[in-house]
Structure 1
Amino acid sequence: MPLVGGRSALVLFVTAAVLVATSAPAWSAAHNITAILSGHRDLTEFSRELTATGLADDINGRNTITVLAVDDAHMAPLKARGLPRGTLRHVLSLHVLVDYYDDAKLHGLPGGSADVSTLFQASGDAPGSAGMVEIADRRGGRVAFAPQDAGAARGTAVFYVKAVHQAPYNISVLQVSGVMSSPAAEAPSSSSPDPSRLDFSDVMSKNGCGRFAGLIAATAGASAAFDKHTRDGFTFFCPADKAVEAFEPTFEKLRADARLAVVLYHGALGHYSTQALRAGHDDLATLASDDAGTTVGFAVHSAGGKVTLVSATHNAARVTRTLADADPVAVYMIDAVLVPFSLTANASSPPDLGPSESDGRSGRKDGGDGRKTSGSAPGWPRRGWVASALVFTTLLTAFASG
């Protein structure tokens, strides 16, 4: 007699499928452009520049995208021009369409053409209608891509060569015959701030870290300390608004010097590009210090292209987005507040952290951001335990119904 009947097996299968779907990490990217291009040696330089300009992260953060890749031979003249990083980013942004186009769609355009927005236009740096690209199916089946600038100005058109990678309605990578450019993309970046004068608070406020920017402004000495170091190379890790909102009740109960230390703990000395973070496994020095005046840092761990920061109290924060990366300053969004010390010991009154579990090895408790402060990898989410219980219950039901 079978252990599990047909109906019970079906229930078990459906339950397991739902649990797998709901247990998937919400922060995981739908695709990885660097990994996609890694199998194509002739696109190495294009991939490298996407990473260097921060566009790789922007591409990975979008669900529907088309990347117009350029081979090394045609990237060489662009590199030889020595464009500033901001200008190079604008040019490459023209090669990222914020819609999905594959081989079939290119040759089936309604009316034979389409105007598509790019990441250059989406960035807000493109003036007027600049940043749009016209796709046109021309005679002989050749498909052209031509950037559209304001007025009578027109950029350099390129042609479709072949499909490199296609995941329907998610990401498409198409090789084109050369580098598209336009007067708007190559214009002196008067609208783009001098990296050494980057208004990091403005960058944070406009990109989902407004609450942390508010903490910097409200914490005596924080802005001045950050301003002092940005010209020499600096990297900010700003917690997203949701993480700061959850941490604020605890933050308000800290002593003034402890609040300053928490804020300064999110600034690392030195400029670290996305590529440097992914390659490194060393501790980063910050502006925060403990009661003895010793500088406190945090560890950087990279796996599968994902970067995780682990604080001195072992709470973890994942880097979820690049907000700015132009030497000497970089700004990254993280999903939790980093805590450099025992919160209880530094509170003007014991902070109400709510229910928490002790770390059996260190005796530490929740770091105040909802994460268990242990040195090990983050534990299975609570919903994982619920999922386990549901599977167990289903198995028992299946066994009973035989």
Structure 2
Amino acid sequence: MPLVGGGSVLALLVAAVALVATSAPACRAAHNITAILAGHRDLAEFSRELTATGLADDINGRNTITVLAVDDANMAPLKARGLPRGTLRHVLSLHVLVDYYDDAKLHGLPGGSADVSTLFQASGDAPGSAGMVEIADRRGGRVAFAPQDAGDAQGAAVFYVKSVHEAPYNISVLQVSGVMSSPAAEAPSSSPESASRLDFSDVMSKNGCGRFAGLIAATAGASAAFDKHTRDGLTFFCPADKAVEAFEPAFKELGADARLAVVLYHAALGHYSPQALRTSHGDLTTLASDDAGATVGFAVHSVGGKATLVSATHKAARVTRTLADADPVAVYMIDAVLVPFSFTANASSPPDLGPSESDGRSGRKDGGDGRQTSSSAPGWPRRGWVASALVFTTLLAAFASG
């Protein structure tokens, strides 16, 4: 029996690859800012300070980012000032734009200018628009960057020098002519007493957790419980908006005590910095309690520097972003709602928690009793199996009919 020709087999294999590729979920691009800068010796000091202040981890944890790198010669005056670590972090965070800009985009700004948010604003430490940077195309084709709260202060603006690294639309590293700073960035670091008054709800609302901030405001006793403990230290884990949106119908079916328990379950006692969270392997105590009055916690597992929380009902949620870290309060985004109890005794019907969200793109679901379920086999989407089965069935048919 003649076999299928080589060209036909190749065509079928190409079709298989195409089908599987189109059925696979989109992957979040990964980058490592220290590895990118490692090939540029004149940016070594800038790279070291990003690592020392913890900004490197924040940069690596974001999918769309622009880093304004400063060479060693222009970093020297900043280093000589001996700024406290917190202040240095604020200054350098002005050099991290939470949007993608490359050489072409800089020279094609609509209207010749743009206002861009930075990691300083995303931290929740910048008052008003102090964390914004204006990009302006100036005379002679020069592109300037200036913090909005610096006003017209002489020397406030720095200029685009060259592109160091571009990975559209994931990460861009652009070299600038000097260090930007501003009055807000260099304001005295908050004392523990003032930091305890960090407006965590405002931080959540401005950084993709507005729906959870709404649950806090609408749940009797939640805000008061948080305010009572912030002075001694609290770490918030706020589910991203898409996760909360899918959970809200089930939340509305709960009794008042159960609602309060769910909300309080997303705050752990004590302040956990990003470094402490990444190296933690144990249980965290939350503000939630069970029917007997005993506190309910969740486990933290860290693999490869990424933290995952596992609830009392065995549901997992990944920590996807650091929204604020101002001792004694830290705020992190997670990609799923955590529940401390089985819903069978607290709701008229099991909830559908909908898709978990790593900034909104995972497809995991909670089966209602808190156990992790999935609409597809782990590690391989259902459509991938179907596509592969179709291709191999076609191949077999072709051989058989050859």
TM-score scaled to structure 1, two decimals?
0.71
Cα deviation 1:238-260 (Å, max 9, x = unaligned): 11222112112222233332222
Q: 68-77 or 351-360: which moved more?
A: 351-360
1:313–1:374 Cα contact (<8 Å) kept: no
Structure 1's 150 and 156: CA in aligned 2 closer, same or farther, altered over 3 A? closer
Q: Which moved more, 1:85-94 or 1:212-221?
A: 85-94
CA contact (8 A) 2:296 2:340 kept: yes
- Structure 2 Cα separation of the partners of residues 113 and 280 of structure 1: 44
Distance 1:223 1:103, change over 3 A: closer
Alignment CA distance shift 1:284-1:387 (3 Å): farther
Assess, with a 3 A threshold, how the Cα gap between structure 1 residues 186 and 363 changes in structure 2: closer, same or farther: closer
Superposed displacement of residue 367, structure 1: 3.9
- Residue 29 of structure 1 is matched in structure 2 by 29
Deviations along 1:263-298, one digit per CA (max 9) or x if unpaired, are 111111111222322222222221122233332221
Q: TM-score, normalised by structure 2?
A: 0.71
Q: 1:225 to 1:148 in 2, by over 3 A?
A: closer
1:140 Cα deviation from its structure 2 partner: 16
- Report the Cα offset of residue 216 of structure 1: 1.7
Taking a change above 3 Å as real, the CA distance of residues 107 and 50 of structure 1, as seen in their structure-2 partners, is same
Structure 1 residue 43 corresponds to structure 2 residue 43: yes
Distance 1:382 1:161, change over 3 A: same
**Separation in structure 1 between the aligned mates of residue 243 and residue 136 of structure 2, nearest angstrom:** 45
Contact 2:123 2:325 in 1 (8 A): no
Cα 1:169/1:347, change in 2 over 3 Å: closer
After superposition, the C-alpha distances for 1:289-323 in whole angstroms (9 at most, x for unaligned) are: 22333322212223344332111111111222222
Contact 1:68 / 1:176 at 8 angstroms: preserved in 2? Answer: yes
Is the 1:372–1:378 contact (alpha carbons within 8 Å) kept by the matching residues of 2?
no
Question: Which range moves more in the overlay, 66-75 or 335-344?
Answer: 66-75
* Structure 1 residues 248 and 389, CA gap change in structure 2 (3 angstroms): farther
Cα deviation, residue 206, structure 1: 2.5
What SS is found at the alignment partner of 2:42?
helix
Distance in 2 (alpha carbons) for counterparts of 1:138 and 1:364: 48
Change (3 A) 1:310 1:386: farther
Gaps of at least 5 residues in structure 1 are none
Shift of 1:5: 4.2
CA distance in 1, matches of 2:81, 2:362: 55
Change (3 A) 1:325 1:149: closer
CA change 1:354–1:9 in 2 (3 A) is same
Alpha carbons of 1:365 and 1:36: their partners in 2 closer, same or farther (altered >3 Å)? closer
Moved more, 210-219 or 86-95: 86-95
**C-alpha distance 241-204 of structure 1, shift in aligned 2 (>3 A):** same
**Paired residues of 1:240 and 1:333 also in contact (CA < 8 A):** yes
Conserved? CA contact 1:362–1:374, under 8 Å: no
Q: CA deviation at 1:92?
A: 0.9
Q: Check conservation: 2:243, 2:356, Cα contact below 8 A.
A: no
- C-alpha displacement of 1:235: 0.9
Determine the structure 1 residue equivalent to 2:182: 182
SS state of the match for residue 31, structure 2? coil
Moved more, 218-227 or 78-87: 78-87
How many angstroms apart in 1 are the aligned matches of 2:72 and 2:357?
53
When residues 351 and 25 of structure 1 are mapped into structure 2, their CA distance, relative to the original with a 3 A threshold, is closer
Q: Is the alpha carbon distance of 1:209 and 1:40 closer, same or farther for their aligned partners in structure 2, counting shifts above 3 Å?
A: same
**CA distance 1:327–1:42, shift in 2 (3 Å):** farther
Alpha carbons 1:43, 1:71 under 8 Å: kept: yes
- Call closer, same or farther: CA 1:343–1:135 in 2, change over 3 Å: closer
Distance 1:115 1:366 in 2: 39
Q: Matches of 1:103 and 1:361 in 2, distance apart?
A: 29
Larger mean Cα displacement after TM superposition, 294-303 or 129-138? 129-138
1:357 and 2:357 matched: yes
Give the number of equivalent residue pairs.
Answer: 402
Measured after TM superposition, the shift of residue 104 of structure 1 is: 10
Q: Distance in 1 between matches of 2:264 and 2:110?
A: 54
SS at structure 1 position matched to 2:366: coil
Which range moves more in the overlay, 14-23 or 291-300?
14-23
Kindly indicate whether the alpha-carbon contact (under 8 Å) linking 1:337 and 1:369 is maintained by their aligned counterparts in 2.
no
Q: 1:165-185, CA deviations, whole angstroms, 9 ceiling, x for partnerless residues?
A: 554664343567864434464
Aligned 8 A contact 2:230 2:328 in 1 = yes
Structure 1 pair 43–315 and aligned structure 2 pair: CA distance change class (3 A): farther
Does the residue aligned with 2:395 lie in a helix, a strand or coil? helix
Q: 1:328 to 1:384 in 2, by over 3 A?
A: farther
Quick one: distance in 2 between partners of 1:11 and 1:105? 39
How many Å apart are 1:208 and its aligned residue?
Answer: 2.2
Identity %: 90
CA deviation profile, 1:64-102 (whole Å, cap 9, x unmatched): 544234578976875675656664343113323567677
Q: 1:330-374: CA deviations, max 9, x gaps? A: 111212111222111333666689999999999999443997259
1:389, distance to aligned residue in structure 2 (A): 3.9
Q: How large is the Cα RMSD of the aligned pairs?
A: 6.3
Asked if structure 1 preserves the Cα contact closer than 8 Å seen for 2:342 and 2:368, the reply is no
Q: Could you tell me how far 1:215 is from its partner in structure 2?
A: 1.8
Contact 1:358-1:365 within 8 A present in 2 as well: no
